């Protein structure tokens, strides 16, 4: 797999702008995908999920897009707020393996 | 109660010590998980318990020993750890192993000296 290195990919956005966080997943047979938000000193928190039979799912201020052709997942956050600053992880179910595998993570920093 | 509670929040232990991490949930979830998370990395699965039985062990060294005394509690017993075992240890639970709506605890920050 790709080497992560010591630094998380970082996305800096101005407060009020929209954010797009991307994730490339590994298993083409994965059926279920989740986005988690992890704030400093806390455990991951569920944001939104999507099944492989869907291309798009919307929540409150968040939208997840799934492109199975290129194994790509994205999380869109509308009107980003300072409280959205965190590390965001995508996770996949690995084709019914009964365990979640997390992607590498992206650190979102919101500039007030 | 919709939380997973982990204790202690912080732990410093020597390489010859024996300690235990504790995790508790009262949501009626029958699947519980231990994850290890190093700094700036994603959580990595260690163990899965389903209906109080160990169902997945991701080739974790024997110095980590999980225990599930009942459906609400999950322990991780630590013995003869190495400095590279220092990490955030996260516990999670879900209704069962086919349900991926995990609820995570805030973790135990472990430092091995």
pLDDT score at A43: 95
B43 and A91 Cβ atoms separated by less than 8 Å: no
pLDDT digits (tens, 9 = 90+) for A49-93: 999 999 999 999 999 999 999 999 999 999 999 999 999 999 998
pLDDT digits (tens, 9 = 90+) for B8-58: 999 999 999 999 999 999 999 999 999 999 999 999 999 999 999 999 888
**Cα dihedral A10/A16/A17/A23 (nearest 10):** 40
- Residue with more model confidence, A12 or B98: A12
Domains of chain A, CATH where assigned: 18-111 (2.60.40.10)
B42 to A43: CB separation less than 8 angstroms, yes or no: no
pLDDT class of A95 with cuts at 50, 70, 90: low
C-alpha B89/C-alpha A106 separation (Å) is 20
Out of A6, A93, A102, the one facing B43 most closely (by C-beta) is: A102
Out of A6, A7, A43, the one facing B104 most closely (by C-beta) is: A43
For an interface test with A, give the residue of B43, B60, B91 to mutate (most A CBs within 10 A): B43
A105 to B42: CB separation less than 8 angstroms, yes or no: yes
Chain B nearest-CA residue for A93: B100
CA angle B57, A73, B93 (to 5 degrees): 35
pLDDT of A26 above 90: no
pLDDT score at B72: 96
pLDDT class of A1 with cuts at 50, 70, 90: very low
């Amino acid at each position: 797999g790709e080497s992560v290195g010591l630094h998380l990919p970082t996305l800096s956005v101005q407060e009020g702008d929209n954010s797009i966080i991307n994730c490339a997943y590994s298993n083409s047979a994965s059926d279920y995908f989740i986005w988690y938000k992890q704030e400093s000193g806390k455990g991951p928190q569920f944001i939104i999920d999507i099944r492989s039979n869907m291309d798009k799912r919307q929540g409150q201020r968040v939208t997840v897009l799934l492109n199975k052709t290129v194994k790509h997942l994205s999380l869109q956050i509308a009107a980003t707020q300072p409280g959205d600053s965190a590390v965001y992880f995508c996770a996949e179910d690995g084709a019914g393996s009964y365990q979640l595998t997390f992607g590498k993570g992206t650190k979102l920093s919101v500039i007030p | 109660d919709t939380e997973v509670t982990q204790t202690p929040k912080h732990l410093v232990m020597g390489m010859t010590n024996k300690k235990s991490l504790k995790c508790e949930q009262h949501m009626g979830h029958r699947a519980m998980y231990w994850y290890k998370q190093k700094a700036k990395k994603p959580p990595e699965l260690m163990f899965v318990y389903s209906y109080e039985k160990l169902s997945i062990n991701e080739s974790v060294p024997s110095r980590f020993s999980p225990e599930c005394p009942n459906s609400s509690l999950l322990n991780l017993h630590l013995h003869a750890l190495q400095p590279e075992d220092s990490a955030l240890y996260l516990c999670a639970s879900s209704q069962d192993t086919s349900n991926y709506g995990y609820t995570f605890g805030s973790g135990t920050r472990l430092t091995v000296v």
